[in-house]
Structure 1
């Protein structure tokens, strides 16, 4: 029996928030586990130069994914709103237009990236001994972009209709396949060719492709409501209204990811100037930091969804309670992760670095300084998730820009002459603490409570400041045995859309 959807407007706030964040956290852990296992194989068996190569290449990949992240969230929101209004036709239109846009864009990126890999890495200041390795790795990653984009888009779309378990299952399949193919293709075990560092990228491409095929087969076999078959080819034609909504709503959200990725690329360029040992130390620390920030990201996403439901219901006391519980969980869960990483850092960092490596002591030093910044980062992420639930995304974007480009980057640049690499490490806690203070100030005195998600009329376009910056977090599938009820006509202040001409169950496509 399918579980009933979790009603976030009732029940204990802390308990519901924690349970709601678990599937998001599990997906984040699975994805990061994939990257960490890759780093272990590359760093321990191919050396510091290879680990530096993957760190530089992965920064570019993160930028490429982040640049369309907001548009993907906009597609998720549009699908979720259409399904909430029982407008299945509109949901499928969004699905078709979004799929055409994402696939077309990813193919362009893949072709361009194959030829631009070397110039991009050289512009980042990738160390000379790592540049050929990074280029071999990045070229294959560019070839994997169409499958990476398609898999991420389908996962978001499924969550938009309330299905979080299906994308998680196929994400786990991808991780298992990637982990399994890594050593086979790196070292040429059995019938597989020995590809070195490029084998790690090929493992990603193969795993993502097989998982994508499996996900598509599942949707077709289950006659999923979002499955578009041969009879639905017309749905893949670009609907200019939908495309305009994706861009107008998605760009402000995506800019936040772009700002983060660009700052990380610039920080990586600064670190590269101190040589391979320091760059490898930073790359190993990044692997640990990926896990440290996971609880805050999962809780922030859950806070956004919980607050959004309660904003729609007018339960402002529960909105404030959501913020309080989110901040508390951030300190508890993030602190629990940071403490052992400090106490056992010699062993955790050694997972990614060869024995007796000079990079190990550098990594321990920078980790002691910078890892605490994620406590402050988590508060900023939670508060931003809550204020975005009303549709206020411009202030969080400005706060992020100020903390990264007005504080972190200038701090690291200006103090390097006196502090050396320590200026880079200290820029993380300083900028994160300032971002936390600015977010709390906006939460307390800002006008986010007066923001709106959508205009009253369906044909109007929302201004960027009226679009939520976080996609709807996953909820359990609706209970198919629940008695049908008449769908109420949404009001402009809550749904932002008029009643659909035909109200169809979300499970109408499952026959």
Structure 2
């Protein structure tokens, strides 16, 4: 078995850093073409179009989060097999993941298209934004399977320790997405449908590229016909790890929908301000999130290899790095809020910029909470225990609902802006408690039965 991407050996900090950097670059490029969509829509089609796209962000997270959470969760099992040196089981695990991808993509696409009008009404969608929001999300549902294919293949490649190839294909798709944005929106005048179609096509192509590469390069991922003959117990091992993570993301998505419904009731300026700030926040948390993703694979491989002291060292360097970054970047966001937000909405949108200052001052000052959550949750997920992160998702839901239904009525937009910091800190506390329990018991509280 090829050990080129073995995360169980070498200097801990350098191993995590070198594995994390391609993930970070990939996440940045992934968000880049999302931001390009936002900038082009906001600057060429106007603030109403920007609000239409931003008003369904929580719905996209709910659906895509469920699917990608399941895909990312089950690949933890694959990574543990690879760390334990069980090539045959790694290949069977890959076959399970492909079957789950096919079934989940089909179900979510059909259900999403049928339920879309009702979901938009639940989101309290303003009448003037409804048609554009419906058109944009309809295209996203139609292309859901292609979008998920990239996430599945990228997760499998990271499970084997290769985070560079997903980056390469994502860079290609990012460039393609930007080109298609200009063609569909500015040349063919496809409005927000063009932005959605550009993203779907670009990401689907990157998924196909990763699939071809992984099949040709790695015997552990090269599934055969007999690998699809899966026992119920083997499938159950994957679902036991994957479903809680999927449910966790879905729960978070429900909380975001409640948040979005309250936000949509505050008008187009508030929606546009949140959309711009959320794009900035997504870029800002990328390094911390990328370290967390790296920690899942790093922990999973070392857990499979029973290198528990190495997990402790990895956790320490990752946590310190995330906390330092969150404090520095949070301060920069507060200071340079206006020019950053103006990138998306222009300098003349005075009310949008004013609301953005309020939102960013609250969010950026609490980024250290996100650092705690991402790092501890990544380590816990890597051990194969996804129930605790799922319970953390319930806490995030409660906090977002509390902010949307209670704090927003007391303090308005500032109260609503407290939703994310409250969700981060309460979920972080739960994952911190469980990780310390694992550490104290030498990581014997959890184990995948097939490992």
Instruction: State TM-score, norm by structure 2.
Output: 0.89
**CA–CA distance in 1 between the matches of 2:320 and 2:65?**
28
Aligned to 2:125: 126
In the TM superposition, 1:390-429 aligns within 5 A as 390-402=383-395, 404-429=396-421
Offset at 1:320? 3.5
Q: Which has the larger radius of gyration?
A: 1
The answer as to whether partners of 1:97 and 1:237 remain within 8 angstroms in 2 is: no
Is structure 2 residue 208 aligned with structure 1 residue 199? no
Aligned to 2:284: 292
Aligned to 1:76: 75
Moved more, 76-85 or 367-376: 76-85
Aligned to 1:378: 371
SS at match of 2:345: coil
Q: 1:293-342 deviations in whole A, cap 9, x for unaligned? A: 11221222333444455556666554443333222101222233222222
SS at match of 2:56: helix
Aligned to 2:353: 360
The answer as to whether partners of 1:413 and 1:423 remain within 8 angstroms in 2 is: no
Q: 1:450-504 deviations in whole A, cap 9, x for unaligned? A: 313223xx4xxxxxxxxxxxxxxxxxxxxxxxxxxxxxxxxxxxxx2xxxxxxxx
Offset at 1:222? 5.4
The answer as to whether partners of 2:245 and 2:386 remain within 8 angstroms in 1 is: yes
Offset at 1:23? 1.9
Offset at 1:17? 3.0
Q: Name the count of aligned residue pairs.
A: 447
Alignment gaps of 5+ in structure 1: 459-495, 497-511
C-alpha change, 1:53 and 1:236, in structure 2 (3 Å) is farther
Instruction: State TM-score, norm by structure 1.
Output: 0.79
C-alpha change, 1:304 and 1:95, in structure 2 (3 Å) is closer
Aligned to 1:115: 114
The answer as to whether partners of 1:56 and 1:121 remain within 8 angstroms in 2 is: no
The answer as to whether partners of 1:9 and 1:306 remain within 8 angstroms in 2 is: no
Aligned to 1:454: 448
**CA–CA distance in 2 between the matches of 1:223 and 1:15?**
24
Alignment gaps of 5+ in structure 2: none
In the TM superposition, 1:35-50 aligns within 5 A as 35-50=34-49
Aligned to 2:174: 175
Moved more, 386-395 or 133-142: 386-395
Q: 1:143-188 deviations in whole A, cap 9, x for unaligned? A: 1111112222122222333332222211221111111100110122
RMSD between aligned alpha carbons?
2.8
**CA–CA distance in 1 between the matches of 2:227 and 2:308?**
40
Is structure 2 residue 95 aligned with structure 1 residue 102? no
**CA–CA distance in 2 between the matches of 1:309 and 1:236?**
24
Q: 1:81-135 deviations in whole A, cap 9, x for unaligned? A: 4445555444333333432331233133323333332221121111111110011
The answer as to whether partners of 2:369 and 2:425 remain within 8 angstroms in 1 is: yes
Q: 1:5-46 deviations in whole A, cap 9, x for unaligned? A: 3544543x4343333321221121111111111110111111
C-alpha change, 1:223 and 1:423, in structure 2 (3 Å) is closer
**CA–CA distance in 1 between the matches of 2:428 and 2:88?**
42
Offset at 1:249? 2.3
